[in-house]
Homo-oligomer: A and B are copies of this chain.
Amino acid sequence: MVLSRTSQYAVQALIYIATQAPGEPVLNRDIADRLNVPAAYLAKILQSLCKHGLLDSFRGRLGGFCLRDGMQKTSLMQVLLLTEGPDFTKSCILGLKECTDETACPMHFKWKPVKNKIIAMMNDMHLEDLAKAVQTGKYRLADLPAAAMPAA
């Protein structure tokens, strides 16, 4: 409804890494297993987050990914601007290239405050806080594995 799979995987992975001991690299494979997400695809996403400065990566034994120093405070908006592109906040809900208060589509003035709520929400959530929430055990980062699901 709102985020691409790529964005969802990126956010999940970043939160997961943020729950782990800082400075201790986390294996791509471990993240993928934990989130139940395709490992090779996740690796591409993590590589891209490295290039954009959110993560550090280390090769070889004891390698893996960890949050770059200071990036615990990254907001989800910062992440989404990378994964969804810089126009993430600018889009018209009907897809018009130009849709401003002056040149508005018929949904513009209803949509605008809602969109602003989404933006505020994404600006307001930080990896740090989300990681802490997960650490309380009250929230899930991924679906339960099929093995733990009630038989169908």
Which residues of A come within 8 Å of B, CB atoms? 1-3, 5, 8, 11-12, 15, 84, 88, 91, 93-99, 103-108, 110-111, 114-115, 117-118, 121, 124-125, 130, 133-134, 138-144
Contact = CB atoms under 8 A, between A and B. Distances in A.
The number of times this chain is found in the oligomer is: 2
Contacts of A5: 95
A114 B106 contact: no
Nearest to A15: B106
Given A1-B88, A114-B117, A139 B95 contact: no
B1 A108 contact: no
A90 to B, nearest CB: 9
Contact of A96 (B15, B97, B143): B143
Nearest to A114: B117
24 contacts: A1-B2, A1-B88, A2-B2, A2-B93, A3-B94, A5-B95, A94-B141, A96-B140, A98-B143, A98-B144, A104-B139, A105-B139, A106-B130, A106-B133, A106-B134, A106-B139, A106-B140, A106-B141, A107-B130, A110-B125, A111-B121, A114-B114, A114-B117, A114-B121
